[in-house]
Structure 1
Amino acid sequence: MKRYWQSLFHDIQMQPKLMIMYSACILFPLLLFGSVLFFIQMAQIKTEVTAGTTQLAKHINISLNEYLREMETISYMSYNNQELQNHLIQIMENSSSRGKTVSQAVQAIDTFLDDVLTVTDNIDFISIISNDDKTYTKSIYGPVRMNNLYLEEEMLEPLLRSHGETVVLPKHIADFQFAPPTPVFSVARKLLDFNSGYYIGYLLLYCNLNVLDRIANDTQVGSNGFWFVLTGSDQMLYAAENNLEKGWETQLISRLQKQTNGSHVVEFMGTKYLYVQNVSSKTGFRVVCMLPYIEVTQMGTMTIVLFVILAVAILLLAVLCSAMIAKSIVLPIRKMRAAMKRAQEGDLTVTVPAQGKNELGELAGNFNELVCRIGGLIETNRNIDMQRKIAEMEALKSKINPHFLYNTLETIRMQAVINDETEIAGSVTSLAKMLRYSISGTDDFVTLEKEITHVTHYLYLQKMRYQDKFEVEIHASPASMSCQVLKLTLQPIVENALQHGIEKKKGKVLLQLTAELLHGNLHIYVKDNGAGMNEERLHHVRRALEDKDAKLHGEHIGLQNVQSRIQLIFGTAYGMQINSTHHEGTCVELKLPARSASMYG
């Protein structure tokens, strides 16, 4: 099975294979990044939501503390009113009497209660209960039903245990005769007689829930969350509106009694909630915020949905980019494959556009160079064959009757000897030897020694022309003399030196011919101190030697022919180089491979 999938993958075309690989290289990191992002995002969202909800609970607690501080300040009015305390004591001491004194005391208490009700709109009614269980009540709604004045004994326990501090009693329903039942909670304290040091009764401020309702309206825990307030004894003081079933308070309070400050995840009535509470250090009240946990996860889910959309967009963009990249890679390869097929069929004129300097561009350039070289080699071989045929034809023409020419020259030489013309005889002898060297044999290669001998005959003839206008020095190492060189390569160079060096300069010219072996190559130098060339002429000659298509118009044509023959046989690494200084002379360096006769068969 493994081999099957490997074979299947190997057989896929390169473009879809590259697209699959690019997409996989992008998809897997995206999935990994998405997973890590989800967990990090969820943790961050939970932290932020918890921090926000905690801040909300603190804000509710602060608002509640300010409200209770206001109620506590109002309750202090009973301590600051010595007349109220005296009237309560007077009534308790004359509890059986109904005289004018008691009536005045009751009226004074009613006046105090009216004064308290005018201080704030947040108190629905107020009660003072004396130690002899007499109750004095005032309400903004009128009379209160007596059966609702006394709270359950369990609710009064915190007040009974107190020592004069403010006590908050939990929510209950106040039933008025001329108003609908109203939920209230009580802020109460014991009344102290500062003269005797004994408690003489209780003050109860029945506070409406308007302030807490306003806080609830201004405060929202998520979309479907809610909050509530517990007293220090875990009794429900207030609960914001919610969609829970009736009786949820008792169940939830029992679940949360062991919870501490901070945040927790709790399950209640089949729903998971993020539970955050804040306990007031002043009142001991617990403000509890309940946020459905699904709202927390929905925030993370939205992030994941956005990430998935973004990931899909990135993946599609990656597929598009990978298709373009794959096409940019595969298309040149396909073009090269088509070009190779054409070259294989014999079309060596085909080329592949080399786009850019990358590997494919270099490969295309190398292919074009290879095809060009192959074409050049084929053309070179064709030219060599053509030149060989032409040379053979010329050789045949020159050999029509060589003996007649030799015999004629020999007759002239003998006549010169008879007439005692030794110079003419010598010249004829040199000319005959040059002629025999040029047209005899079919070998293209001769030893350097034979080539120098041929040049010596040529220089002897030129001496007849120029007389003492030049001198010749030949220095060749014994090892170099046995090296094989192309036939008739030195004569055109020496002829060029005489023609352009001697004829254009006054005075005697020294012509030096030197040969030596360096690094496996044969170096031959033909140097003169003749007229030399200026920079423009030297540049023209050098360019003609580098470009075989350039023409020298008869001048230096021999040099160009020698250069072409050498590079045609040995390659462009060999040939001649010319250095010249105007009015100082010229040096032609000929570089050939140092080869013996055995290398040429």
Structure 2
Amino acid sequence: MKRGIRFKLIIFLLAATIIPFGISIISIYIYTKNSVVNRFVKNNHVLINKSGSDLKNYFEEINNIPLSIYTNRPYLEVLENGATEFIDKNQFEINRNLLNLYFNRREIEQMHLYIERGKDDFSVYNAKVSGRGKLLNFKDFPIYKTLMKDEQFVEIESTHDIKSYNDLSDFRVKPAKQVISFHYRLMNVTTDQLLGFLSIDVRLDRIKEIFDRIYDKNREHLYVLDEDGNVFYSSNGNRIGEKLTNSWYKEINNTKVEKGQYDFEGKNKHFKGVYVSDQVKASGKTWTIIKSIPYTNLYQDANKILIINITIGAISVLFVTVLTILVSVKFTNPIHTLIRNIKRIEEGELAVSFDSLGDDEFGQLGQHFTSMIEKINDLYIKEYKLQIENKTNQLKVLQSQINPHFLYNSLQSIGTLSLKNDGKKVYKLLTSLSKIMRYSMRNNEDFVRVVDEINHIKDYLALQNERYDGKFEYKLNVDEHLYFTSMPKMTLQPLVENYFKHGFERKQNLGKLEISISQFDFDTMCIKLIDNGVGVDQKKLEKIQFSLMNQAKNQKESIGLKNINDRIQLYYGEKGKFFIESKQHEHFIVTIYLPLHVDRGAIENESVNY
């Protein structure tokens, strides 16, 4: 599909405006996005680090709870001597101190005390101290075994469902609450004697307060993990207590980073955004805090700026588009006017339909164009009429050359026949001759029906057959539906005459001539003449072809062929075709292609009648 100059001008002007503006918007967006993302990530590192410090402080607060035992000498003596000695007094002391520890913080859900001397243990749950139990072997508790081996005096058990210690507590609420357990090894500082173990189960209330304030609950996720990858706390409650095996966690866990901070982009079918992580050391362990931030959050500010820029850009582009269209229309209107007039000229109407195209360069072009058309119109009419007159005169010259010569030969044949006293045949020949003469003298028409041209050539061949005493034979094959189709007058006779003059008379054997008129395709008629004359060699054929295509002089032998070819080109232009081919001593072939549908009015206007 061809694009006009108006379309190209609009596209060019729009491109010259939109492309720089678009590049500017994209550059600003990329810079803003990177800046916002870096600032956002940096701020999140600060938030995570602050929450990590709060977590560390909270752990220290919980770790300070058992220290009050060492400042309470009566309670310390109970732990050293066992609960069974002075049972009533000791039981009261144990209950009082356990409840004091229990009410120390509101998020403590359960406490368990094991006394190594006597293997006694007690639990506090729901603000009640259980009865005395017997824990015959504390090593049955894996966490206590770990404490004995570890140099640390405290071991934190990651988030889990609350459980009963030695079946001393009765949990009727379902589902079980999730707690974090702090297990302490109680020692006599001076003698390094093992006094027992204290376990504190803490609800996640305070942990939730610390971390819920640093993430968007609707779009972001948070994970707090222990050293083994267990989820200590998460924004997704269903994952608390699970072991994390996600690929993004493995990348964080396997990456050694300075100061524990790390962030990277994650792209998968479930999440597209940035993971920000930090590490904090508390109670002898390293805790990893991971926050996932989707791109929608990261790019929120950048997208707002982008929307503002796009809105301004759209308004600007709309204004530029309207202005561009107005400029292009004003600029291309004179060109379109010239194109319309050129098309009219191509169709044969040598006239312009505008007065002025303005006072600029287009106006000057219009003035020169009008002046040029006026001159072309004058020259065209003079030259074209002269050309038609010249071709018509050539045809008449051809007829004048043919008729006397043919008349002499025909009369001589008729005279010879009359001597043989064949009166009926003489009448037929005279009738054919009169038809030929009448047909040739119809100078007021350039086009005839196919059937008229065929009848004329039949009369002509009848006389020639008598002249040459039947030494040749001919065939006429014509599609009947083409009988009333128009064709140029005197097209066939010069070709047949050319055969008798240059092909038949020089050959000794029986002459053969075949004329066919058929429909070549939907809009074309084919006229073909084939003879078995002496033909011409390749050099002579090229010479004749050259004379047909050019204004060659002194080509008397091909004047008939050239006249026919010139008239076909004059009447039909490029739609009419004229071809010759020959092989010496074998044949000479003429093929003519004429269009079936032609503007007869235009041809009649071009004809010059005498």
Measured against the shorter chain, the TM-score band is 0.3 to 0.5
Superposition TM-score, scaled by structure 1 size: 0.46
- Rg larger in 1 or in 2? 1
